[in-house]
Amino acid sequence: MDQAPTQGYAGILLAAGRGARFDPSGHQNKLLQLLSDGETVVAHAARNLRSALGSALAVIPADSPLLCAHLSSEGFAVTKCVNAASGMAASLTHGLRLTPHAAGWVIALGDMPFIQADTMTRLVEALRQGADIAVPCYRGRRGNPVAFSRRHLDLLLQLSGDIGARQLLQSLPVMEITVDDPGVCRDIDTVADLRNCRCSKETVHA
């Protein structure tokens, strides 16, 4: 069951990467692969984000009609980033410009489907209590998603390339939220990662 929405905060799901490590040929979209429960990787990630934030805006490439149709059919808001190939920052700034009035943002990744909604809710609560940047930590290791307050909007909009917001996490104060959630450090980057998740053998093509 979805939790109560965290009013004023926006959830942005970055789902515009090419996933070259998963399939260098580009024929298989890792986000559309099925997990053991029969749900796709990206739908699982989007649903967890929406459960915590009340909504989830998925940023996808402009040339991925199947991904767009899939997420739209699942009831998620979708926006196409025409310059997504230039790096993660393009997708991030695209999503931020479409949610300019949010009190803050939780930035999640489409290939991390196992993050608990409670973890995202705790990140928003950290923003409410005054944090400008909050990240979850599992067993001493920082993970995703990352939450930002409006204070850093201008800096976020200046990002470029494929580093995303990593440089801000290295140069600005960050509140670390200890969580019992291994999903914050678990992404699906390769076919082996997918197998380890006991996924279905069925493959969906982009």
28 DSSP β-pair partners:
205
Mean pLDDT, rounded, for 191-199: 65
Architecture of the CATH domain 9-17+29-192: Alpha-Beta Complex (3.90)
Q: Which residue has the tokens 């749900």?
A: 39
Q: How far apart are CA 118 and CA 13, in angstroms?
A: 16
Q: What is the pLDDT of residue 120?
A: 96
Q: What is the pLDDT of residue 26?
A: 60
pLDDT tens-digit map of 91-118: 999 999 999 899 999 999 999 999 999 9
Mean pLDDT, rounded, for 132-159: 96
pLDDT tens-digit map of 3-38: 334 459 999 999 997 655 655 556 678 898 888 888
Domain residue extents for the chain: 9-17+29-192
Distances 131 to 28, 64, 128, 146 between C-alpha atoms, Å: 39, 36, 7, 12
Structure tokens at 37: 């429960």
Q: Answer yes or no: are the C-beta atoms of 52 and 7 closer than 8 Å.
A: no
Q: What is the pLDDT of residue 36?
A: 82
Reported pTM: 0.88
pLDDT band for position 162 (50/70/90)? confident
Residues 6+ apart with CB under 8 A from 38: 200
Question: Would you give the end-to-end CA distance of the chain in angstroms?
Answer: 30
Mean pLDDT, rounded, for 134-162: 94
Apex 135 CA angle, 104 and 128, nearest 5: 40
Q: What is the pLDDT of residue 9?
A: 95
